[in-house]
Structure 1
């Protein structure tokens, strides 16, 4: 891959991420506020793992199938919407005990990974996005697999860094929130999850997100 093409790809990906927080980013902000940045890394890992699956699906030409299968797309999307909304409602309705602690245990690494993976996988638009993005920067005269690897790895690194930056911002917010009440923290985090569900509900297969 020519260096100028690679730099152009970096610019396109940077523009794509220069937007307000999306579904996965709202999730990691919420988990960072509640559990800290170290634990929210598991959420980022789940999100990036789902991206890997979506990239492989795009590479095998499944993007076109997904784009023409509205029923499957909407079933998976609305499952993700319900999943996020359920998490949000659980947080909002969580009770505090006499010490001000919430009765729900902190998320385990497996649960946080699951949240990141399911939330990202529910957005099948990503498969279509990768299927449309990568071919624009691939030279068909050169081996395709190494080029896909470079493009995919670059995207994952940028995405991972941005997710952790959003998580760090969540930590900054948590310092102020925890001075008040863990119940307030839960309600704010629950609101973020419901907002994420709303963003996912608005996703479709049109490349405008």
Structure 2
């Protein structure tokens, strides 16, 4: 049984386009970074899982062929508005960050719990309707109409794992003790910067949803 039974001929183009998109920092990147720099991998790994699950939700929608979000301007606008409010809320929390030291191994319990991390990451990905359009475009434009359901499923699984592993790699790199030690008592400045970027994303969504 050849690999084309599981992966379509256009899979390399799909994987490349998806990975290039991952390299572009978005709202999920800044959310993960802000938590990783304060709490390390322990305080951000479930955010990564939540983000991957949110992406997986839209991948599933693209595979099932649901175009209701894309074709319903009012629903799309509502999701954009909710996403904007969510980003503004998270950004505000980060901008209000106060000076403080690193979370040590002994005090790791101060980091957000797994459930809270999961909700933060999932909501961040889910309330970004551009994710829905992105995956619909990838699955329809690149893979084409001749792709089988099994090929779509394996391509979707690949993209889900790519998001998860890439975000975990980012969180691990930023959460290294050496990186965090370089910031020292200036971690709150990093968090405030990340908060400002997230709020900028939120304002951008507000402007788009108001059109």
Coarse TM-score class (shorter-chain normalised) = 0.7 to 0.9
TM-score if structure 2 supplies the norm length?
0.77
Counterpart in 1 of 2:38? 34
**2:128 match: secondary structure:** coil
Q: Do structure 1's residue 174 and structure 2's residue 176 form an aligned pair?
A: no
Give the 5 Å matches for 1:121-136.
Answer: 121-135=126-140, 136=142
Identify unmatched segments of 5+ residues in structure 1. Answer: none
Kindly provide the CA deviation profile for residues 115-160 of structure 1, in whole angstroms up to 9, marking residues without a partner as x. Answer: 10011001111112211211332562x6x22111111111122222
The alignment status of 1:147 with 2:155, answered yes or no, reads no
1:93–1:196: structure 2 CA closer, same or farther, 3 Å change rule? closer
> Which deviates more from structure 2 when the two are superposed, residues 41-50 or residues 145-154?
145-154
Task: Give aligned pairs, total.
Answer: 193
Q: Is the 8 A contact 1:123 1:200 kept in 2?
A: no
Alignment of 1:53-132 (within 5 A): 53-63=57-67, 65-95=68-98, 105-132=110-137
Offset of residue 199 of structure 1: 2.6
User: 2:204 — aligned with what?
Assistant: 202
* Displacement of 1:71: 2.6
Query: Residue 193 of structure 2 aligns with which residue?
Result: 191
CA contact (8 A) 1:32 1:167 kept: yes
2:16 is equivalent to residue 11 of structure 1: yes
Q: TM-score, normalised to structure 1's length? A: 0.78
Counterpart selection for 2:26 from 13, 22, 32: 22
Secondary structure of the structure 1 residue equivalent to 2:112: coil
Q: Distance in 2 between matches of 1:131 and 1:200?
A: 23
Contact 1:40–1:112 (CA under 8 A) maintained in structure 2:
yes
**Distance in 2 between the 1:151 and 1:29 partners?**
27
Cα offset, 1:101, TM superposition? 8.5
